[in-house]
Amino acid sequence: MIYRKLGNSDLNISVITLGAWSFGSDNAWWGNQPEKESFEAMDAYIENGGNIIDTAPIYGKGKSEKVVGEFLRKNNLRNKVYIATKVGLRWDSNNKILRNLKRDSILEEINNSLERLQIDYIDLYQVHWPDNDTPIEETAITLKELYDKRLIKAIGVSNYSVEQMKEFMKYAPIHSLQPPYNMFNRKIEKDLIPFCIEMNIGIISYVPLYQGILTGKYFFTDKKPEGKLRANSEEYRGERFKINKETLLKLKDIADKYHISLAQLAINWNFSQKGITSAIVGARNKKQSLENIKSVDFIIREEDFKLIDKILNERLERIKDEQ
């Protein structure tokens, strides 16, 4: 395993972060998930050097946090694993997701998360999404108080712009940013990555496999996208499907040279990019955990990085023409 310091924090994390959203067993979004398989996925991940698990209260209405907490307690692994969770997204009585980063809500949420996770501090506490109805100052000051009290060891933000981070940093430190980033979505390279490098803010990227698209499994087989998020994606429809399939075939040729899967190529490419500290990859079972971990077992050659860039740029041009 490869470890990197997370920005200006004291955390040294593995380049693969285990994403625990599926552990929430939310049928509406990610499908049913047996707890036993979640435990096995975490066990295989930690056994092979992974040391950070990313969860959130919104995943399964707290169930993901409970599953993570119970696994770590039963196996006495709290001191071997960093726990990253989030704040700011809540379910209302009508099963709708609301954004709330007001002080009182944050203080309530952290107490609930600590209880579900069965711990007395959180290693990385992240704002899940910006809340336009709450001043950033109020959110930042509240998280700074939790940081000063050592209830959280590092402060992160997710889905923030450069401008939002600049405002937040007037009142509290930011140790990490969690943005979407993958081969097919490289928007953060323009401004977010340079800013984070300049300010020594770690980046933990999410959706490195673009919700399964970069595995190729929905393009090279008759398997249909599962879950609400995947099923509704435009990437599987019309001309876009054809463009993506042809792009993935070219990337598969590169993966075949290394005797690896498309997914392993995409994960390695992700955490190998300048400014990226770690990539969050979900795993539903032991087999998926082990496959993800193997993404650290090879180094992509410079000429292949250039070829990948060429292939991805060609895809972008074709998509522009299609639109």
Q: Secondary structure of the chain in the HEC alphabet?
A: CCEEECCCCCCEEECEEEECHHHHCCCCCCCCCCHHHHHHHHHHHHHCCCCEEECCCCCCCCHHHHHHHHHHHHCCCHHHCEEEEEECEEECCCCCEEECCCHHHHHHHHHHHHHHHCCCCECEEEECCCCCCCCHHHHHHHHHHHHHCCCECCEEEECCCHHHHHHHCCCCCCCEEECECECCECHHHCCHHHHHHHHCCEEEEECCCCCCHHHCCCCCCCCCCCCHHHHCCHHHCHHHHHHHHHHHHHHHHHHHHHCCCHHHHHHHHHHCCCCCCEEEEECCCHHHHHHHHHHHCCCCCHHHHHHHHHHHHHHHHHHHHHC
Across the strands, what pairs with 54?
19, 84
Of 3, 45, 59, 218, which residue is the catalytic one? Answer: 59
What span, in angstroms and rounded, lies between the C-alpha atoms of 11 and 3?
10
Q: Is 125 a catalytic residue?
A: no
C-alpha 67/C-alpha 99 separation (Å) is: 24
Measured at the CA of 104, the angle between CA 60 and CA 11, to 5 degrees, comes to: 65
Catalytic residues: 59
